[in-house]
Amino acid sequence: MSYTHIAPSELVAKLGSLAEDEWIVDVREPHEWDYYHLDEAILMPMNSIPGRLDELPRDKTLYIICAHGVRSEMVSRYLDESGYDRVVNVTGGMAAVAALLGFEYD
């Protein structure tokens, strides 16, 4: 395993100052995204990843996030096995990030 992990607090600290070569990829489903999401993220549901690899640059750091960290772990492993070497799984997922940011729920 050559991908790494980042704590939700570390990702939150990066928000607003992401470098040009850093992307946040949200692998949840559209209805989860609609509930709450990070403005800096791009939505790419987990099951769409294999058919959309050409949209993910290999020369950027990809922070992979899902709801709780399970799907993002699987996607991180898949990207690692597909030759991406700058993959970072966000542990705890959007639930942990949202709790840190104090997102309001409807």
| CA separation, residue 18 to residues 32, 70, 74 (Å) | 23, 24, 24
> Catalytic site residue 66?
yes
Q: Which of 24, 49, 66, 88 is catalytic?
A: 66
Residue 106 is predicted with a pLDDT of 47
Residue 104 is predicted with a pLDDT of 67
Low pLDDT (below 70) residues in the chain: 1, 104-106
